[in-house]
Amino acid sequence: MVVLAIFVYWPIVESLRLSLNRVAPFGNAEIFVGLDQYTRLLTSGEFWNNVLVSIYFMLGTVPVGIGLAVVIALLLSYPVRRLSWAHRMLIFVPVVISSAVAGVLFRWLYNPVVGHINTWLGAFGIDGPNWLNTRTWALFAVTVAVVWRQLGFNVIIALAGLQQIDDSYYDAAKVDGAGTWDRIRYVTLPLLSPTLLFLVVINVIISFQAFGEIDILTMGGPGQATENLVYSVFVDGFVGTRFRGLASAQAFLLALLVMGVSFVQFRGFRSRVHYG
């Protein structure tokens, strides 16, 4: 309890206090401004841009990430037994890599002049875009990197969910004359729904917290095309000129947003999840 109080509650109270003050970068001068920083944020284009980036980022990573994970898990669960441990390991490896290392790897791949992706595209006569430095492509490029790193974790969870499903359900469906696709559609997916809910909740939260890849790949640029709320909190609070009051206010709004989204998820999924 004491530990919680020191490391969780006190920082929350402290950052709430900071969010109501304008704090000088060196911490020795504070001006109380009440809710002024909140109103400034809520009326600024930059803040809403950052919110939108966070949301696009969620929409880009969560459905694709989980969809891919389920497909791969299904493939892995089919009996190529002799190879599957190797496959699983290969799929899981990216999870162990830190986001910073993954970011550096993708940076090399995306380099418009000497990067591998555009070199390969060039071999097919395609003039690849400048992935990280055009507003059209930057967010997509970062999304791909995050989906890739998160994929292994999602696959493993989905695979565990699949293995929970008793064979007798499949046998019954087979007897009823269901084909492979029907079995996936009417047996696997409904019985997998608690796992899927878990994955959605986790992935949504992870997507809102995406930081490492953004920092390494784009630093929020070009312009602010990939600056999500977390990155904005970091830049305002810890880099260069430190606007810690403003960063705290953003952090609070971010927390509210994540709580709101999580609440909607549980409400929305409650009726659709089947617990075996």
List residues binding another protein (CB under 8 A): 22, 24-29, 31, 98-100, 107-108, 111-114, 130, 132-135, 194, 197-198, 201-202, 205-206, 209, 211-212, 215, 218-219, 221-225, 230, 234-235, 238-243, 262, 266, 270, 275
**Residue 10 CB, nearest distance to another protein (Å)?**
13
Closer Cβ to another protein, 84 or 265, answer by number: 265
Closer Cβ to another protein, 113 or 175, answer by number: 113
Closer Cβ to another protein, 85 or 238, answer by number: 238
Nearest to 73 by CA among 192, 183, 167: 192
How far apart, in whole angstroms, are the C-alpha atoms of residue 132 and residue 223? 11
Closer Cβ to another protein, 28 or 168, answer by number: 28
How far apart, in whole angstroms, are the C-alpha atoms of residue 220 and residue 210? 11
How far apart, in whole angstroms, are the C-alpha atoms of residue 130 and residue 140? 12
**Residue 146 CB, nearest distance to another protein (Å)?**
12
What is the full DSSP assignment across 27-43? SS-EEE-TTHHHHHHHT
**Residue 223 CB, nearest distance to another protein (Å)?**
4
* Residues in a beta bridge with 187: none
How far apart, in whole angstroms, are the C-alpha atoms of residue 17 and residue 248? 9
DSSP 8-state class, residue 30? E
**Residue 55 CB, nearest distance to another protein (Å)?**
18
